[in-house]
Amino acid sequence: MTDVVVVMRLAGDDADASKQDILALLEGVAGADVTDSSVDAALGMTAKELVLTVTISFATSVSANFATKAIEDALQGPLPDQVTVEEIFCETPSENDGTVEETSE
């Protein structure tokens, strides 16, 4: 199993609505199991700002690599001005010790 992790910063009065729109957009990626793994009450965040971390699981690293490109393309589209995509990367479990290797895209 390979995970694609998308980290975004959302700001503004409608940050929660933007979050729901983005989750729906990411769920549109074929074969994706989208999990909102963010913590809304991050230290130092105001009520009008949150960090959204989404984990999308794929059966193989090949499908995750193709999906990463599709996700990048989808997030290049018309997003609300207050949404900033900070990072998109793949996490592949290491075969040796069960830890996770991070591969930036």
- Give the span between the Cα atoms of 84 and 45, in whole angstroms: 15
- Give the span between the Cα atoms of 49 and 61, in whole angstroms: 32
Domains of the chain, residue spans = 2-104
- Give the span between the Cα atoms of 89 and 77, in whole angstroms: 19
1, 36, 73, 75: CA torsion to nearest 10: -160
Choose the CATH number for 2-104 among 3.40.1160.10, 3.40.50.300, 3.30.70.380, 3.10.105.10.
Answer: 3.30.70.380
pLDDT digits (tens, 9 = 90+) for 29-77: 766 677 887 665 544 555 566 778 888 888 888 888 888 888 888 888 7
pTM for this entry: 0.68
Q: What per-residue confidence (pLDDT) applies to 39?
A: 60
- Give the span between the Cα atoms of 52 and 7, in whole angstroms: 6
Query: pLDDT-derived band of residue 103, with 50, 70 and 90 as boundaries?
Result: low
